[in-house]
Amino acid sequence: MKKTLFQRIIDREVPARIEHEDERCIVIHDIQPQAPAHLLIIPKKPIPRVDEAADADEALLGHLLIVARDVARKLGFENGYRIVINNGPDACESVPHLHLHMLAKRQMGWPPG
């Protein structure tokens, strides 16, 4: 199976601006930001999308949210931030490797999309 872009970043085959890394995930700055601050929280385990996450992935998925919280605090997103997970083609999923988008430093519109 061909590696996704994110797996290649995790394996250091493709450079990225890394904000955080631990044994379970990596946080990088998006190269096509949709907000003044746009980071991607990516599990190192290659789960294609939320629909394909197993019950056994519950702790990992929770870890991604805690890391998002910690990175937001570190970067000073005190006015708020948005977390987005795209799942499938109708949601504009572009890389088949589960990841969270963290968008901040601007007012978000509602409803999204």
Please give the positions annotated as active site.
Answer: 99
Q: What's the one-letter identity of residue 97?
A: H
CB atoms near residue 29 (< 10 Å): 14
Give the single-character DSSP code of 2.
P
Strand partners, 42: 26
Q: Which contiguous run of DSSP H or E holds residue 26?
A: strand 25-29
